[in-house]
C-alpha cells in the first residue's frame, strides 16, 4: 500500500484511492504508486472492476509543478517515460475501470481520467489540459488519448487554449459519460462497477483489448484482432456456460475461466 495511492477492495470492486493533500498533485511518488496500484488490481483475479477516486473534494489537480520547474531536459526525458508508463499501466488494467471525478481533474489529473474506460463527474467538476499556460504540452497521454476520445478538433481546442470545461460541457463533448450530484459521484461509480461483478471476466478483458488495440491500427488489422479474441473465447468455460444458459433460458453463473 502506497503513501498517497492505495488500493481498497470490497465486493470484488477495487478502488484506487488518491490521497495526497491538498489537491492530489501528481508528483513522482504518486505516479509510481498509481502504476503499482494499477498492476496490483489488474493481477488480482478476485477484482471484477476498478474505480479511481481522489476523494470528495478533488480528483487530481495535475502534476506537481514545483517538482518539475527546475528539471533539466535530461531529467525530464527520463522522468516523462516513467510518467507515461505509470498511466499506461492504468489504461491496460484488464477489467472495466471507472474514474470518479470530483472537483478538479486538470493536466495530469485529466490524463489519468482518460486512462479509464468510463468517467463519472460531479456537477461542479472542472476538467482540462492547462499545460499550454506553462509553456509546455500534456505529457502523460493528453495529446494522444484526448483526441481519440473526443476527436482532434475538440482536443486541440482544449489543449491549445488550456481552458477548463464544466462537467456539463465535458459530457456534451464526450469527455465524461455521466454527470451526477457532487455527493453521489463515488456511489454512482461503484454502482456502475458493480454491474460487472459476476460477469464473464475473460470476455470483458478480451473486449477491452480488442477495442483499445483496434483503435491503434487499420480496420483490417483491427478485424483480425477481433477475430482472434472472439475465436479464442470458445476455449473458455465461460463461453460454454453462457451459451448453455442461453439455450436453457437460465441466468449464467460465470467462473472467470
**Would you say residue 88 has pLDDT above 90?**
yes
3-class DSSP state for residue 51?
strand
CATH topology of domain 201-247: Lyase 2-enoyl-coa Hydratase; Chain  A, domain 2 (1.10.12)
Residue 77: CB atoms within 10 A of its CB come to 10
pLDDT in tens, 2-20: 899 999 999 999 999 999 9
CATH topology of domain 5-194: 2-enoyl-CoA Hydratase; Chain A, domain 1 (3.90.226)
- CA–CA separation, 252 vs 198, rounded Å? 9
Across 54-63, 74-83, 185-194, the highest mean pLDDT is recorded for 185-194
User: Which one is catalytic: 111, 141, 188, 206?
Assistant: 111
pLDDT in tens, 156-207: 999 999 999 999 999 999 999 999 999 999 999 999 999 999 999 999 999 9
3-class DSSP state for residue 13?
strand
What pLDDT, on the 0 to 100 scale, is given for residue 209? Answer: 97
What share of the chain in percent tops pLDDT 70?
Answer: 100
In the chain, CATH 3.90.226.10 covers 5-194
**Would you say residue 1 has pLDDT above 80?**
no
In the chain, CATH 1.10.12.10 covers 201-247
**Would you say residue 67 has pLDDT above 90?**
no
What pLDDT, on the 0 to 100 scale, is given for residue 123? Answer: 98
**Would you say residue 53 has pLDDT above 80?**
yes
Catalytic: 131? yes
What sections of 55-137 are H helices per DSSP? 65-68, 73-91, 108-114
Contacts of residue 152, Cβ cutoff 8 Å, sequence gap at least 6: none
Residue 91: CB atoms within 10 A of its CB come to 17
What share of the chain in percent tops pLDDT 90?
Answer: 89
User: Which one is catalytic: 63, 170, 188, 210?
Assistant: 63
What pLDDT, on the 0 to 100 scale, is given for residue 37? Answer: 97
DSSP-assigned beta bridge partners for residue 51: 15, 98
User: Which one is catalytic: 35, 107, 121, 131?
Assistant: 131
What pLDDT, on the 0 to 100 scale, is given for residue 183? Answer: 97
- CA–CA separation, 13 vs 131, rounded Å? 33
User: Which one is catalytic: 2, 103, 107, 108?
Assistant: 108
Residue closest to 196 by CA, chosen among 249, 118, 113: 118
Residue closest to 257 by CA, chosen among 210, 197, 203: 203
What pLDDT, on the 0 to 100 scale, is given for residue 80? Answer: 86
What pLDDT, on the 0 to 100 scale, is given for residue 146? Answer: 98
As given in the structure block, the three cell numbers for residue 16 are: 484506487
Catalytic: 54? no
Catalytic: 111? yes
> What mean pLDDT do residues 115-131 have?
98
Going from the C-alpha of 106 to that of each of 130, 231, 252, the distances in angstroms are 7, 41, 41
Catalytic: 193? no
> What mean pLDDT do residues 143-160 have?
98
What pLDDT, on the 0 to 100 scale, is given for residue 140? Answer: 94
The set of long-range contacts for 143-150, using a CB threshold of 8 Å and a minimum separation of 24, is 145/91, 145/111, 145/114, 145/115, 146/110, 146/114, 146/175, 148/215, 149/114, 149/174, 149/175, 150/174, 150/175
Residue 198 burial (C-beta neighbours within 10 Å; 0-12, 13-18, 19+): middle
Amino acid at each position: 500500500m502506497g503513501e498517497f495511492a492505495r488500493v481498497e477492495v470490497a465486493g470484488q470492486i477495487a478502488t484506487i484511492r488518491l490521497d495526497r493533500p491538498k489537491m492530489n498533485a501528481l508528483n513522482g511518488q504518486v505516479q509510481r504508486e498509481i502504476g503499482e496500484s494499477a498492476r496490483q488490481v489488474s493481477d488480482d483475479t478476485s477484482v471484477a472492476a476498478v474505480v479511481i477516486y481522489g476523494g470528495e473534494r478533488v480528483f487530481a489537480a495535475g502534476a506537481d509543478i514545483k517538482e518539475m520547474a527546475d528539471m533539466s531536459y535530461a531529467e525530464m526525458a527520463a522522468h516523462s517515460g516513467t510518467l507515461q508508463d505509470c498511466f499506461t499501466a492504468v489504461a491496460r488494467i484488464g477489467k472495466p475501470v471507472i474514474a470518479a471525478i470530483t472537483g478538479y481533474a486538470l493536466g495530469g489529473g485529466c490524463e489519468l481520467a482518460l486512462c479509464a474506460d468510463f468517467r463519472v463527474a460531479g456537477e461542479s467538476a472542472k476538467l482540462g489540459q492547462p499545460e499550454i499556460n506553462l509553456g509546455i504540452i500534456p505529457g502523460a497521454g493528453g495529446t494522444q488519448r484526448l483526441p481519440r476520445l473526443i476527436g482532434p478538433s475538440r482536443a486541440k481546442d482544449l489543449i491549445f487554449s488550456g481552458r477548463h470545461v464544466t462537467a456539463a460541457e465535458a459530457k456534451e463533448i464526450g469527455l465524461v459519460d455521466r454527470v451526477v450530484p457532487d455527493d453521489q459521484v463515488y456511489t454512482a461509480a461503484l454502482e456502475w462497477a458493480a454491474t460487472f461483478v459476476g460477469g464473464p471476466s475473460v470476455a470483458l478483458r478480451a473486449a477491452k483489448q480488442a477495442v483499445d488495440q483496434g483503435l491503434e491500427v487499420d480496420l483490417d488489422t483491427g478485424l483480425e484482432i477481433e477475430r482472434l479474441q472472439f475465436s479464442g473465447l470458445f476455449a473458455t468455460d465461460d463461453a460454454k456456460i453462457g451459451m448453455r444458459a442461453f439455450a436453457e433460458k437460465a441466468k449464467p453463473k460465470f467462473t472467470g475461466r
